[in-house]
Amino acid sequence: MSIITITVKCDLDNDEIFGRVHVQTTADRTLDWLLDEFCTEKRVKRKETFALRRNAANPELDLAKTIAESGLTDGETIFAYNKNPPPPPPDLPKVPPPALSTWWILAALALAIGAIGLIVLVVVHLTLIRGHRGRGAHSTKAYIYAWRSSKYRGNGVVLQKATAHTSLPIQVAGGLSQMREAVSAVRPAVPEKLEKQTKLYLGATAGMRMYRSVNASKAEAVLSDARKILRPGGSGGFHFEVGGVRILEGDEEARAGWLAVNFLKGGFGDLPAREAAQNAGSTANPPPDLPATFGSLDLGDGSVQVAFESPPDSPPDSPDTRPLTVYGRTRRVYAHSFGCYGLGAAQRRAIGRAIADAGYDDGKPVDFPCWQLGTRQRGVRPPCSDGLFTVPAAKVDARFLVSGSGDASRCRLLAARFFNSLCNQTSCSFNNVYQPDPVGKFVAFSGFYHVADFFNLTANRRAASRPSANLTEVSILVDSFCSRSYRPSGSVSEARLRWLCFDGIFVESLLRGLGFNDSNWSNIEFLDKTRTDNKLAWPLGYMILQSASSPTEGLIWAVPLPLFICLIVLFVLLLALAVLFACIALRTSRGKRKGYKPF
């Protein structure tokens, strides 16, 4: 039997099976065999619903018949098809691209988060400002201090930004007005945007402590008036956050002075370098061999403060000795304040004592050995405290003419009457006040410095003019000055020059009372400021303490440098995403205008 060719063309409605198959066979083969050959050639599994037909208009061919019986001839084309094709899959819903508003919302969110994050990080690493006003016995001083919010081991590395001072204390007429002027003078040092988060502290010291001891209700009224001026929206017109307005106790002032001394003299180590290392991500502990701390001697107008690290062999429960934690270390610090032993208070007590010794006779000049010969003044301020001298009722309003005699020996005896050597403690300074022996180096500042500077006893002058001076030589130097006749000097005010004889003798007596002598005199350094911008004063130490309790307030917290960099990168990426979303939003809006095309 001859060979014929039958062409089977695919009509299965299957996108995966298409084309045609040319089958060479004999006419006695069945159509069923022909369909099998087609499926084999196309590599498709045959289904029961597959069939053959001549074309769409002709009925199905009987697969049991042969090619000849079906009337197919050589070269004819037939179609393989599916009798019961599966229903077409449902149309998938077209997902339109995000609406224009959605892309813009995403862009806005990314922009807001990125921008706000960057701004907050910058604010975190900006310097925070803190204000402080210190009120001395007879003046008011305003300081602006700043430190980074990151701090170092719990305390800020403080930098002085501005200072201002007045001549009146706040408890006298015009004092509160001058206080307002002092704060206004330093106000420009605070950036306007930081003013509302800048804390302002008022710490009243010896003058207000003495005022409180005489009339507590009036002292509180003065503080209340000060709060009204300083508070936000108050009569002072300030916007600072008031951190505290109160009278500092003497030991607080002494510890603050000790902190200031050691901060500036390196008693706590190289704090700026360690803060920088901490901010760079270093977690190393400070070296154990920190330098020894310095003692502090602070002579104000109304009181004198002494503070130093208590020796290891001192009793653990000794009076005036407390643990003080600063920059991650705890030390036991002895601190004491002697009220009425400031320079101004001592001057008033001395002249009051001389008037009392003269029997309150206002008919003739009162001899005062602590002024140089030729010094005269009418009218005397009252002594440091009421009850120290009993003024006759008839002499309460009397005015006395005081005349200097320049007798250093008698002046020294007069000053010595203020120092009682009685001691019922294991160790005392004077007036039966417990004090360990002063050990180590000391820094004397404030009134101590100004008196020492006049007598060429400060570090720079001592090295040049009297490198081997001891306390005995200081006594000789002061005695020589006292014996001179009074002669006004253009470089020193008349009011100060009048008292320098007494000041020198009183400072010498005070230092002896605090335990200093010829053998340890060289341990004292008289200092006013260091190479930094910070003036040596107790408000600096007070701010160091306050920095520990001034947290990372509000949105301000400490961020180590590695985390800071990572967050910067993150927020910059968010800003880049904001730009990308905005571009997509613009493209989508153009596509809608032209008709949507999927992409």
Residue 310 backbone phi and psi in degrees, to 5: -65, 135
Pairing of strands 329-339, 321-326: antiparallel
For the cut 50, the answer to whether the pLDDT of residue 555 exceeds it is no
Averaged confidence pLDDT in the chain: 80
Q: Give CA–CA dist 450/507, Å, rounded.
A: 11
**What would the pLDDT profile of 215-256 be if each residue is shown by its tens digit?**
889 889 988 988 888 888 777 788 777 888 889 999 999 999
Contact call for residues 356 and 395 (beta carbons, < 8 A): no
pLDDT at 388 over 70: no
Grade residue 78 by pLDDT with cuts at 50, 70 and 90.
confident
Res 323: pLDDT: 92
- Active site positions, annotated: 253
According to the model, what pLDDT value does residue 591 have?
A: 61
Identify which has the larger pLDDT, 478 or 164.
478
Q: How confident is the model at residue 510 (pLDDT cuts 50, 70, 90)?
A: very high
Percent of the chain with pLDDT over 90: 22
451-to-117, 129, 536 alpha-carbon distances in Å = 54, 33, 16
Element counts in the chain: helices (H) and strands (E): 15, 18
> If we measure between CA atoms, which residue out of 457, 563, 578 comes closest to residue 516?
457
DSSP state of 315: -
- Name the most confidently modeled range: 189-193, 492-496, 521-525: 521-525
373: β partners: 485
DSSP-assigned states of every residue in 266-297: TTT--HHHHHHHHHTT--PPPPS-PPPPPEEE
- pLDDT for 524 beyond 70: yes
* Domain pair 126-338+528-549 / 339-526, same fold: yes
Across 138-150, average pLDDT:
76
At 334 the pLDDT is: 95
Q: How many CA atoms lie within 13 A of 269 on its CB side?
A: 17
Distance between CA atoms of 307 and 280, rounded to whole angstroms?
34
- From the list 256, 142, 141, 269, the residue with the least C-alpha distance to 540 is 256
Which is it for strands 199-204 and 127-135: parallel, antiparallel or unpaired?
parallel
Compute how many other C-beta atoms are within 10 angstroms of the C-beta atom of residue 585: 19
d(CA 182, CA 141): 7
Q: Which tens digits make up the pLDDT trace of 305-334?
A: 999 999 888 877 778 999 999 888 899 999
Angle between helix 408-416 and helix 343-357 axes, rounded to 10 deg? 100
Q: Is the pLDDT of residue 118 over 80?
A: no
Strand order in the sheet with 3-11: 20-26, 3-11, 77-82, 50-53
> What is the DSSP code (8-state) at residue 94?
P
| Total residue length of the chain | 599
Burial of 579 (0-12, 13-18, 19+ CB in 10 A): exposed
For residue 447, what pLDDT is reported?
93
Domain 3-82 adopts which CATH fold?
Answer: Ubiquitin-like (UB roll) (3.10.20)
Give the pLDDT of residue 314. 80
Percent of the chain having pLDDT more than 70?
A: 78
DSSP 109-148: HHHHHHHHHHHHHHHHHSEEEEEEEEE-SS-EEEEEEEEE
State the pLDDT at residue 15. 58
Separation of first and last alpha carbons in the chain: 60
CB neighbours of 560 closer than 8 A, spacing ≥ 6? 278, 279, 280, 281
Tell me phi and psi for residue 248, to 5 degrees. -80, 140
Residue range 126-338+528-549 in CATH 3.30.420.40: yes
Please state, in angstroms and rounded to a whole number, the distance separating the CA atoms of residues 24 and 3. Answer: 7
Q: Is the model more confident about 430 or about 361?
A: 430
What residue spans define the domains of the chain?
3-82, 100-121+560-594, 126-338+528-549, 339-526
Strands 442-446 and 524-526 come out as parallel
Average pLDDT, integer, range 561-574? 77
Which three-class secondary structure state does DSSP give residue 397?
coil
Name the range with the highest mean pLDDT among 74-83, 379-388, 399-408. Answer: 399-408
Q: Is the pLDDT of residue 491 over 80?
A: no
CB atoms within 10 A of CB 137: 24
Alpha helices in 493-560 (DSSP H): 494-513, 538-549
Contact at 8 Å (CB) between 257 and 538?
Answer: yes
CA–CA separation, 349 vs 375, rounded Å? 18
Q: Residue 153 above 80 pLDDT?
A: no
Per-residue model confidence as pLDDT tens digits over 429-484: 999 999 999 989 999 999 999 999 999 888 655 544 454 468 888 999 999 999 99
Count of CB atoms within 10 A of residue 348's CB?
20
Measured CA to CA, the distance from residue 488 to residue 287 in angstroms comes to: 54
User: Considering the domain 339-526, what is its CATH architecture?
Assistant: 2-Layer Sandwich (3.30)
Please give the pLDDT value at position 149. Answer: 65
Q: Which pLDDT does position 127 carry in this prediction?
A: 46
pLDDT (tens digit, 9 = 90+) per residue, 246-261? 899 999 999 999 999 9
Mean pLDDT of 89-112: 68
**402, 368 contact by CB (below 8 A):** yes
Place of tokens 């309003």: 397
Q: For residue 487, how many other CB atoms are within 10 A of its CB?
A: 8
pLDDT at 268: 83
